Amino acid sequence: MATSTEPTRTRTPIARVVGASLIGTTVEWYDFFLYGVAASVVFGELFFPKGEELTGTLLSFATFAVGFFARPIGGVVFGHFGDRLGRKNLLVLSLLMMGLATFAIGLLPTYAQVGALAPVLLTVLRLIQGFALGGEWGGAVLIVSEHGDPARRGFWSSWPQAGAPAGQLIANGVLAGLAAFQSDEDFNSWGWRIPFLLSAVLVLVGLWVRLRIEESPLFRQARDKQEPTDKLPFVEVITKYPREVLTAMGARMAENVSYYIFTIVIATYAKEHLKLDKSFALNAVLIGAAIHFCAIPMWGALSDRVGRKPVYLLGAIGVGIWAFVFIALVDTKNFALAALAVTVGLVLHGAMYGPQASFFTELFGTRVRYSGVSVGYKLASIIAGGLAPFIAVALLKAYDSGYAISIYVAACSVISIIAVTSYGETRQRDLATL
C-alpha cells in the first residue's frame, strides 16, 4: 500500500513540472540553435581559412553536424542512467554541460588568432553540446508525460517541445538585435560572443527551476519492480523495440529536416544566394518562431482528441508541399512574404513536433523509455537535422537553385509519411502498463 500511495503523496503539480521542463529545454535549445545561426552568418569567416564564401559556410555547417553525431551517444548514455537513476538528475546534468560548453564558445580565439586550433576547439565544444542535448529531450518529455493526466498527455508533453521555438526565438532575437545596432565589423569582432556568454545566466535560472521538481512517479514504480538481472536498457530497446525505433527515426525525417531548412538554412540562402542583409532572415525567423511557440501546444491538444497519426501526417504532407512555396516566397526578396513563408512552414512543422513527444513516449515501456525515445529520436538526428544544413547548402552550390532544397524536403516527407502510416495509433495506451 505504501508503494502505491507514494507517487500521489510526492507528485509535483503538473504545471510546475511543465514549467521546469519548458524553461530547461528553452535554455538548451537556445544554446544549440545559437550555434546554428552563428554558423550560418559568422563562423565561416571567423573559424576557417579564407576562401570562397559558400565553402566557408559548408565547413561551418560541418561542425554544426558534428553536434548531431554526438547526440545518439548522449542519448544512449543519458538514457541508460536515466532509466536506472531517474529522469530528474540527468536533466540537471545535461543542462549544466550544455551551458558550460556554450559559454566556452563565447571565449574561443578565432582562426586569425590561433590558426587551425580554432576550428578544433570549436568542434570539441560542439561535440559536448550535442552529447548534452542527446540526454535532454528524452528526459524532459518523459518527466512531463509520466506526471500528467493521460487524457491530456499530448497537450502537456508538447510544452517541452515548445522550448525549441522559444530557444530559437531568444537566439535569433539576441543576434538580430546585435546585428541591428552594431556594424558588421563590430559584430564579427566581438558582438557575436555576447549571446554565448549570456548562456551562463540562463543556465542558472534553468537549474534553479529543475531542482525544485520531484522524480517521475511512473519511474519510481518501475524502479521498485526492476530486477537486478534486467538487461541494459539500450540492449532491451534494440532487441525488444526495433520496429518502434525505426518508426521514430522515420517519423523524424520530415520534421527534423524541414525545421532546419526553415530556420537555419534560410539565413545562408538569403545572405549568400539572394545577397540580402543578415537581419532579413533573422527577423523572418523571429516572427515565425513566435507563432510556432503558440502552435505546438495547440497541435498537441488536437492529438489528444483525434489521435497522434492524423495530426502528424498533416504536418508531414504539409511541409513536403510547402517547401516549394517557401522558396518561391523567399525568392521575392519581400520581407513580409519571407516571414509568411517561415511562419506557415513552422506551423506545419508544429503539427509533427507537437504530438511527437507523446507519440514517441507511447512507443516504449517505462523501464527503458528514456533509452528508447532517446535512441530513436537521436539516431534520426544524424541523417536528418545534423546533415540537413550541409546537404541543403551543397545542393544550393551544385544547382544554384532553392528548388533543389525543396525536393530534398519533399523526399524526407515521403519517408515520414510511410513511417507514421505503417504504425498503429498510440493515443489510448496506458504508460503504466507498458
User: Using 50, 70 and 90 to split pLDDT, how confident is the model at 8?
Assistant: very low
Q: Are 304 and 361 in contact (CB under 8 A)?
A: no
How would DSSP label each residue in 24-66? HHHHHHHHHHHHHHHIIIIIHHHSS-S--HHHHHHHHHHHHHH
pLDDT at 399: 93
pLDDT at 311: 98
Average pLDDT taken over every residue of the chain: 85
pLDDT at 184: 76
Name which residue leads in pLDDT, 313 or 216.
313
> Counting beta carbons within 10 angstroms of the beta carbon of residue 407, is it exposed (0 to 12), middle (13 to 18) or buried (19 or more)?
middle
- Per-residue pLDDT tens digits for 227-275: 544 677 788 888 999 999 999 999 999 999 999 899 888 988 998 889 8
Q: Is the pLDDT of residue 407 over 60?
A: yes
Q: Are 344 and 424 in contact (CB under 8 A)?
A: no
User: Using 50, 70 and 90 to split pLDDT, how confident is the model at 344?
Assistant: very high
Q: Rounded CA gap, 186 and 379, in Å?
A: 39
